[in-house]
């Protein structure tokens, strides 16, 4: 293919537009499409006419108008809104990222929109109603970590979206009035394939749910909330033997022998189950009913199930094909030993703290559990590990065992905690990670760390895209190193570190090639931020000003590139410099 | 214990949010930035209800997900550890069952020359118990159903409960059974016909 076209020549293109568009319509990767659009004007046009799916990583980096002007034929939209630290209460409420302006634009430009996937956006009930009424072909709604709506909004979707295939409501902070929204699916509605309401708290109308499950013969994903009891679960499972992903409700209800047998029989039918989650309040009496369904399981999410080590060991003995495992740290190091011995195909492990605020180091997991996993699970490449003690030596051994890490998120829960055996900072641990794991894309650091950690990161982590830093570093030099040394860095989020204006300004040139930078409780001042804003007009430099801080201090700073200019919807506490 | 001492020493130091290099003992760094650091040492906003640290009454705060279970020692830092609100629901820590004493009960079988004893605590469910009994006495028990009991079985498991009544094994939830069962009797099927039917 002739890629270097001389713009001055008015020669006819090598292919007619229709052919080029047909070829380009096979390209689905975002990065490839981006590259394609830069080749020439013809290719740019062909690409924009053939793009059907758009991903907007920061809703304020572009405006709805710009999007609809460039891409006329979008069927699927994914948008992310607030900075990630809003998940941990660092962003005040009513910050923004409201979907409504987008929906207005889409209603006129994409009336046949089929999919909407939102993360950390604000969505009102009115928006949900609007969505359900204006898009007759709407098929899939996924809301992750969003806020602003209530179960009333879900009722609109259920009532009006006649072609709905997917309703995935995860981890949102919403008003949970009642489960009646489930009753709003019409009796002749049968298209649902994915239903996830696991994180809603209110009771749902079980009869309505049972009827819904019965008539949706293509249902393959069903994740119910903890108000669904075991006996009810059994009735649902019997109606939907084609499920491949199950999220159970509460596993606590006392069953008599017949009910137990019926439940075991129900699970026995699920030979093609690949994902299992839920299991709230599980007791060991009922765990065995799951075993026959675990043979082909690839993802087991036990992060809401309080299990002890022996219980986990027994379950894992039945999960030889497991690739992803999420557990609570109640399983302890002994539980993690059994992970290492039972799950050789494991690629991802997440260990969550059951009791994050306890000071007691005798709960939870330690470095030895992580070591045990690394010895048995050589394919491990994604880890999220909350612990209360760690050593440099352990981490070095872990990455020797598993050099293919792409995502390494270690959270030593007490800030500034050193290697508990040597009392030294944890610099060498992260040094070992970046030296050994050349494919590392995402890193979260913790423990007592000096600038040395950041020197290591800058020197070795050449594929790093996302870095999370908290309570770490000694001086501006640390942050400067990273900004200078990591060419692929896209997202940098920092809290409670001694990085000041010098560090912020050293990265001036970098921020335009990054998605965003977040810095809170560091040493930034308003003047420093103003200077950045002045020098880099294509960046939005926003300071979140809450009452308690002094006037010249920039408590929370959010910097991101944008082609849409400063926000027009910023609340009073967000100052755009 | 040496390890605890070291831990405690660093534990206390570690809670100081200050800017000095690690290892230095200078707490007085009077720079304007320390003010911003200090302001982070505040309790979780709004939903800071009082919750005793070990008491799991926090479960009632679960509704909006913001459970401020402040541990007795230090003030919490906002958003740390980075655990999502909905995960902060204070999980009821399950009690490790440290019960050392067994729950031995007599088991008699019609036609057998002597009785046996088993420890009910060893079994976690009916299927486990019934399998153990089948192995111990070398017989088979048929399918249980609420309606028919063990109809069709050569032998039927029954038990004497706290009120000295003879009950069919399997009708009540397992935990209720183990707490009320005084002894087991494996009855011949022909005799048991009266017991199994409603």
ipTM: 0.86
Q: Verify whether the Cβ–Cβ distance B84 to A88 is below 8 Å.
A: yes
In 3D space, the residue among B162, B66, B155 whose CA is nearest the CA of residue B112 turns out to be B155
The H or E element containing residue B186 is: strand B183-188
Q: Does the pLDDT at position B64 exceed 60?
A: no
Are B77 and A496 within 8 A, CB to CB? yes
Give the span between the Cα atoms of A167 and A74, in whole angstroms.
20
Give the per-residue pLDDT at B114: 87
A151-168 exposure pattern, b = at least 16 Cβ within 10 A, e = fewer: bbbbbbbbbbbeebbbbb
* pLDDT (mean) for A78-87: 96
A498 touches chain B (CB under 8 A): yes
Residue A7 has pLDDT above 70, yes or no: no
Contact B146 A500 (CB under 8 A): no
- Alpha helices in A195-284, H assignment, sequence order: 206-215, 230-239, 257-268
In chain A, which among 83-122 make CB contacts under 8 A with chain B?
85, 87-90
Q: Taking residues A463-470, what's their average pLDDT?
A: 98
For the ranges A256-260, A426-430, A447-451, B44-48, the lowest mean pLDDT is seen at B44-48
A480's tokens: 């400067």
Q: In terms of CA atoms, which chain A residue is nearest residue B92?
A: A306
CA distance A141 to A165: 9
To the nearest 5 percent, what fractions of chain B are helix, strand and coil?
A: 30, 15, 55
Q: For residue B64, what is the nearest residue in chain A, using CA coordinates?
A: A173
Q: What is the DSSP string of A99-142?
A: SHHHHHHHHHH-TT--EEEEES-B--HHHHHHHHHH-TT--EEE
**Beta carbons of A421 and B10 less than 8 angstroms apart:** no
The separation between CA A304 and the C-alpha centre of its own chain, rounded to angstroms, equals 17
Rounded average pLDDT over A85-109: 95
Which pLDDT score, from 0 to 100, does residue A160 have? 96
Inter-chain CB proximity A450 and B35 less than 8 Å: no
- The structure tokens listed for A37 are 């659009």
Rounded to a whole number of angstroms, the distance from the CA of A102 to the nearest CA of chain B is 27
User: What is the least distance, in Å, from the CA of B68 to any CA of chain A?
Assistant: 9
Q: Which residues contact B124 (CB under 8 A, 6 or more apart)?
A: A284, A285, A288, B174
Per-residue confidence (pLDDT) for residue A340, from 0 to 100? 96
CA atoms of A565 and A111, how far apart (whole Å): 27
Residue B65's pLDDT is 36
CA-based nearest residue to A440, from A456, A426, A428: A456
Which among A353, A522, A553 is the nearest to B32, CB-wise?
Answer: A553
Task: Give the sign of the dihedral formed by CA A462, CA A420, CA B88, CA A148.
Answer: negative
Residue among B11, B40, B76 minimizing CB distance to A521: B40
Largest Cα span, chain B: 91
Torsion (CA) A142, A147, A152, A157 in degrees, nearest 10? -20
Q: Which residues lie below 8 Å from residue B60, measured CB to CB, with a gap of 6+?
A: none
Beta strands A466-470 and A442-444, pairing class: parallel
Give CA B15 to chain center in angstroms.
33
Which of B79, B133, B145, B172 is the best substitution to test chain A (most A C-beta atoms within 10 A)? Answer: B79
* pLDDT tens-place string over residues A279-295: 998 888 889 999 999 99
Tens digit of each residue's pLDDT (9 = 90 or more) over B1-60 = 444 444 444 455 555 555 555 555 444 443 333 333 333 444 334 333 333 333 333 333
Of A450, A500, A523, the CB nearest to B22: A450
Sign of CA dihedral B49, B54, B58, B60: negative
Query: Can you give the pLDDT at residue A442?
Result: 98
Mean per-residue pLDDT for A344-363? 87
Q: In the prediction, which pLDDT does A116 show? A: 98
What tokens appear for A489 in the block? 């860095």
Q: What percent of chain A has pLDDT over 90?
A: 83
Mean pLDDT of chain A: 93
Model pLDDT, residue B91: 54
Q: What distance in Å separates the CA atoms of residue A327 and residue A336, rounded to the nearest whole number? A: 9
CA separation for the pair A178, A201 (Å, rounded): 8
Give CA–CA dist A452/A478, Å, rounded: 7
Separation in Å, CA of B195 to nearest CA in chain A? 17
- Quick one: average pLDDT of B59-74? 39
> Residue A228's pLDDT band (boundaries 50, 70, 90)?
very high
CB contact under 8 A, B170 and A258: yes
The pLDDT of residue A72 is 95
Three-state DSSP at A400 gives: helix
Residue that wins the pLDDT comparison between A1 and A50: A50
Reduce the DSSP state of residue B153 to 3 states and report it.
coil
Quick check: A6 pLDDT over 80? no
CA dihedral for B185, B191, B196, B198, sign (positive or negative): negative
Q: Which residues of B touch A261 (CB under 8 A)?
A: 144
Picking from A257, A281, A497, A504 by the largest number of B CB atoms within 10 A of its own CB, the best residue to mutate is A257
Contacts 24+ apart (CB under 8 A), A9-13: A13/A42
Half-sphere CA count of B123, side-chain side, radius 13 A: 20
DSSP sequence for B70-115: --SSSPPPTT-S---GGG-S---PPPP----S--EEEEEETT-SS-
Q: pLDDT value at position A51?
A: 93
Q: What percent of chain A has pLDDT over 70?
A: 97
- pLDDT confidence of residue A468: 98
- Determine the Cα angle at B87 with ends B84 and B88, to 5°: 90
**Among the ranges given (A292-296, A310-314, A534-538, B121-125), the one the predictor scored with the smallest mean pLDDT:** B121-125
Chain A's closest residue to B125, CA to CA, is A285
pLDDT at A61 over 60: yes
The pLDDT value recorded for residue B163 is 87
> Residue A312 and residue A307: Cα distance in Å, rounded?
6
Average pLDDT over residues B142-165: 83
CB A143 within 8 A of CB A120: no
Mean pLDDT of A328-357: 95
Peptide bond into B81 cis (omega under 30): yes
Could you identify the residue written with the tokens 């050589």?
Answer: A378
- Hey, how many other C-beta atoms are within 10 angstroms of the C-beta on A441? 18
CA distance A432 to A460: 10
Question: Chain B contacts of A356, Cβ < 8 Å?
Answer: 81, 83, 88
Predicted confidence (pLDDT) at residue B147 exceeds the cutoff of 60: yes
- What backbone phi and psi angles, to 5 degrees, belong to A350? -125, 125
Task: Give me the pLDDT at residue A276, please.
Answer: 97
Inspect the interface and report whether the beta carbons of B70 and A173 lie closer than 8 Å: no
Residues of A in contact with B169 (CB under 8 A): 257
DSSP A421-480: TT---SHHHHHHHHHH-TT--EEE--SS--HHHHHHHHHH-TT--EEEEES--SSHHHHH
């Amino acid at each position: 293919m002739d890629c270097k076209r001389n713009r001055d020549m008015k020669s006819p293109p090598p292919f007619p537009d229709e052919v080029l568009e047909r070829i380009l319509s096979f390209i689905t990767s975002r990065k490839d499409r981006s590259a394609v659009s830069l080749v020439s004007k013809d290719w740019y046009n062909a690409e924009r006419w053939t793009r059907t799916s758009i991903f907007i990583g920061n809703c304020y980096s572009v405006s709805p108008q710009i999007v609809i002007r460039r891409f006329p034929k979008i069927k699927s939209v994914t948008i992310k809104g607030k900075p990630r630290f809003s998940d941990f209460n660092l962003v005040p409420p009513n910050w923004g990222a409201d979907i409504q302006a987008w929906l207005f634009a889409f209603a006129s430009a994409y009336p046949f929109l089929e999919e909407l996937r939102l993360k950390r956006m604000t969505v009102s009930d009115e928006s949900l109603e609007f969505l359900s009424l204006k898009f007759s072909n709407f098929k899939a709604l996924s809301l992750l970590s969003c806020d602003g709506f209530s179960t009333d909004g879900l009722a609109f979707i259920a009532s009006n979206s006649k072609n709905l295939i997917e309703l995935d409501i995860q981890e949102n902070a919403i008003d949970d009035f009642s489960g009646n929204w489930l009753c709003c699916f019409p009796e002749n509605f049968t298209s649902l394939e994915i239903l996830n309401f696991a994180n809603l708290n209110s009771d749902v109308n079980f009869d309505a749910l049972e009827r819904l499950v019965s008539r949706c013969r293509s249902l393959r994903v069903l994740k119910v909330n903890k108000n669904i009891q075991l006996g009810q679960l059994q009735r649902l499972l019997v109606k939907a033997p084609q499920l491949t992903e199950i999220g159970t409700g509460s596993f606590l209800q006392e069953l008599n022998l017949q009910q137990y047998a019926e439940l075991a029989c129900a699970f026995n039918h699920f030979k093609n189950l690949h994902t299992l989650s839920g299991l709230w309040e599980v007791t060991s009496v009922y765990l065995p009913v799951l075993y026959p369904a675990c043979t082909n399981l690839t993802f087991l999410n036990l992060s809401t199930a309080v299990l002890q080590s022996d219980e986990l060991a027994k379950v894992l003995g039945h999960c030889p094909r497991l690739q992803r495992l999420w557990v609570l740290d109640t399983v302890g190091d002994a539980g993690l030993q059994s992970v290492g011995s039972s799950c050789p195909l494991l690629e991802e492990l997440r260990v969550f703290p059951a009791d994050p605020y306890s000071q007691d180091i005798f709960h939870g997991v330690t470095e030895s559990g992580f070591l045990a996993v690394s010895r048995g699970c050589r394919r491990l490449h994604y880890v999220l590990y909350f612990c209360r003690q760690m050593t440099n030596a352990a981490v070095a051994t872990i990455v020797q065992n598993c050099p293919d890490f792409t995502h390494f998120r270690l959270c030593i829960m007490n800030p500034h905690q050193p290697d508990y055996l040597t009392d030294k900072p944890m610099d060498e641990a992260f040094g070992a990670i970046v030296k050994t794991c050349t494919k590392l894309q995402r890193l979260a650091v913790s423990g007592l760390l000096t600038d040395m950690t950041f020197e290591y990161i800058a020197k070795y982590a050449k594929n790093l895209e996302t870095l999370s830093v908290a309570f770490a570093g000694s001086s501006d030099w640390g942050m400067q190193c990273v900004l200078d040394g990591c060419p692929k860095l896209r997202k940098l989020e920092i809290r409670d570190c001694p990085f000041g204006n010098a560090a912020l300004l050293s990265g001036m040139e970098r921020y335009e090639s990054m998605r965003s930078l977040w810095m809170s409780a560091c040493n930034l001042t308003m003047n420093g931020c103003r200077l950045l804003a002045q020098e880099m007009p294509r960046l939005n430099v926003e300071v979140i000003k809450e009452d308690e801080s002094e006037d010249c201090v920039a408590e929370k700073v959010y910097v991101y590139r944008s082609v849409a200019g400063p926000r027009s919807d910023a609340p009073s506490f967000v100052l755009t410099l | 214990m040496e390890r605890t001492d070291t831990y405690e020493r660093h534990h206390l130091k570690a809670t100081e949010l200050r800017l000095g290099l690690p290892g230095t003992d200078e707490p007085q760094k009077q720079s304007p930035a320390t003010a911003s650091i200090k302001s982070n040492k505040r309790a979780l906003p709004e939903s800071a209800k009082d919750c005793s640290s070990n008491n799991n009454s926090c479960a009632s705060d679960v509704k909006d997900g913001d459970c401020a279970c402040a541990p007795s020692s230090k003030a919490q830092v906002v958003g740390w550890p980075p655990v999502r609100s909905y995960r902060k629901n204070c999980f009821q820590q399950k009690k490790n069952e440290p019960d050392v004493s067994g729950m031995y009960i007599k088991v008699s079988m019609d036609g057998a020359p002597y009785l046996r004893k088993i420890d009910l605590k060893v079994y976690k469910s009916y299927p486990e118990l019934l399998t153990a009994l089948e192995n111990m006495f070398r017989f088979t028990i048929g399918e249980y159903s609420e309606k028919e009991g063990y109809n069709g079985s050569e032998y039927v498991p029954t038990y004497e409960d706290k009120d000295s009544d003879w009950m069919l094994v399997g009708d009540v939830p397992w935990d209720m059974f183990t707490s009320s069962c005084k002894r087991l009797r494996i009855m011949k099927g022909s005799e048991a016909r009266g017991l199994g039917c409603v």
